[in-house]
């Protein structure tokens, strides 16, 4: 590992490579393979359920929505009559998939995360982990935030040229916010501190989010191991974060000068 920040393109590439290394580790690291039973089973059940909900509920609703007449901007609707439902399904997955997968399958990834940190760091060094009730509430808050952004993201996805790139970026941010929570929460960091750490290391975190979007399109990886891969990739990348407080030292020196 190479802790700390580098050039933005290197951190972005390092984040993407973290996902590839996570897949490799799941296949070859004995200490992790022994922890895969519950994480894989929960991923299989939740991922399959989300795909079923998308196919049975969202796809027909989106198709009917674009097949009808809009009282406003109907010409815009007509131009997306064929591609619109697919755009909206992709947007829904990119934005809502990570928090839904985390809410339903995330708690079952904890043994795998602890095993991964033991492999990388040795004996556990966690302290002041967040209470379980608080973690449930925080996961629900992240999902609620994604649901609030969902209508806006559906609209943005239909913008010419820039719509899908913006949605892909938003999906990468959603994945980063979701999957970097567990290793930081295990160290007692609240939501504000977690968001600060993500912003401070934004290119590496965004790279992990992009890599996870690519992994979600790979057969078998998505069905069996998307949540385990996300857990390992985020844990590994977090250990490489620059964790220095960019505000604290400045305040301390200012106080000393005063």
Please check whether residue 205 lies inside any domain of the structure: yes
- DSSP collapsed to 3 states, 19-30: HHHHHHHHHHCH
Instruction: Identify the pLDDT of residue 128.
Output: 52
Please check whether residue 231 lies inside any domain of the structure: yes
Please check whether residue 15 lies inside any domain of the structure: no
Tens of pLDDT along 172-227?
999 999 999 999 998 888 889 999 999 999 999 999 999 999 999 999 999 999 99
Query: Which residue shows structure tokens 């490799």?
Result: 24
Report residue 226 as tokens: 């998307």
Q: Which of 245, 234, 119, 111 shows the shortest CA–CA distance to 183?
A: 234
Instruction: Identify the pLDDT of residue 151.
Output: 95
Task: Tell me the C-alpha distance between 170 and 153, whole Å.
Answer: 8
Query: Which residue shows structure tokens 């977090």?
Result: 238
pLDDT at residue 249 tops 80: no
Please check whether residue 144 lies inside any domain of the structure: yes
Please check whether residue 6 lies inside any domain of the structure: no
Please check whether residue 161 lies inside any domain of the structure: yes
Please check whether residue 203 lies inside any domain of the structure: yes
- Structural domain including 232 reads 26-65+83-121+131-240
User: What is the gyration radius of the CA atoms in the chain, in angstroms?
Assistant: 20
Please check whether residue 106 lies inside any domain of the structure: yes
Instruction: Identify the pLDDT of residue 252.
Output: 40
Mean pLDDT of 45-57: 96
Mean pLDDT in the chain? 89
Task: Tell me the C-alpha distance between 77 and 73, whole Å.
Answer: 7
Q: Which of 68, 46, 60, 69 shows the shortest CA–CA distance to 89?
A: 60
- For residues 19 and 211, is the Cβ–Cβ distance under 8 A? yes
Domain tally for the chain?
Answer: 1
Tens of pLDDT along 76-114?
888 888 999 999 999 999 999 999 999 999 999 999 999
pLDDT at residue 256 tops 90: no
Look at 45 and 189; give whichever has higher pLDDT.
Answer: 45
What separation in angstroms does the CA of 19 have from each of 26, 37, 81, 175, 195? 11, 20, 35, 12, 21
Tens of pLDDT along 117-129?
999 887 765 555 5
């Amino acid at each position: 590992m190479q802790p700390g920040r580098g050039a933005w393109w290197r951190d972005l590439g390092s984040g993407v490579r973290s996902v590839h290394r996570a897949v490799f580790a799941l296949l070859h690291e004995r200490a992790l393979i022994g922890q895969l039973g519950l994480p894989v089973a929960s991923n299989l059940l939740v991922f399959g359920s989300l795909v079923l909900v998308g196919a049975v509920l969202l796809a027909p609703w989106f198709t009917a929505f674009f097949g009808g007449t809009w009282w406003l901007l109907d010409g815009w609707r007509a131009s997306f009559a064929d591609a619109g439902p697919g755009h909206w399904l992709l947007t829904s997955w990119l934005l809502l998939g990570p928090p839904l997968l985390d809410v339903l399958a995330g708690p079952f990834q904890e043994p795998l995360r602890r095993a991964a940190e033991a492999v990388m760091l040795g004996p556990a060094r966690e302290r002041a982990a967040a209470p379980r009730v608080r973690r449930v509430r925080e996961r629900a808050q992240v999902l609620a935030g994604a649901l609030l952004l969902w209508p806006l993201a559906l609209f943005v996805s239909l913008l010419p040229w820039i719509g899908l790139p913006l949605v892909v970026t938003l999906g990468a941010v959603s994945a980063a916010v979701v999957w970097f929570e567990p290793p930081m929460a295990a160290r007692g960091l609240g939501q504000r501190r977690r968001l600060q750490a993500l912003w401070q290391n934004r290119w590496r975190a965004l790279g992990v989010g992009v890599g996870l979007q690519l992994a979600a399109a790979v057969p078998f990886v998505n069905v069996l191991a998307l949540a385990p891969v996300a857990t390992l990739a985020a844990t590994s990348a977090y250990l490489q974060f620059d964790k220095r407080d960019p505000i604290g030292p400045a305040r301390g020196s200012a106080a000393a000068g005063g």
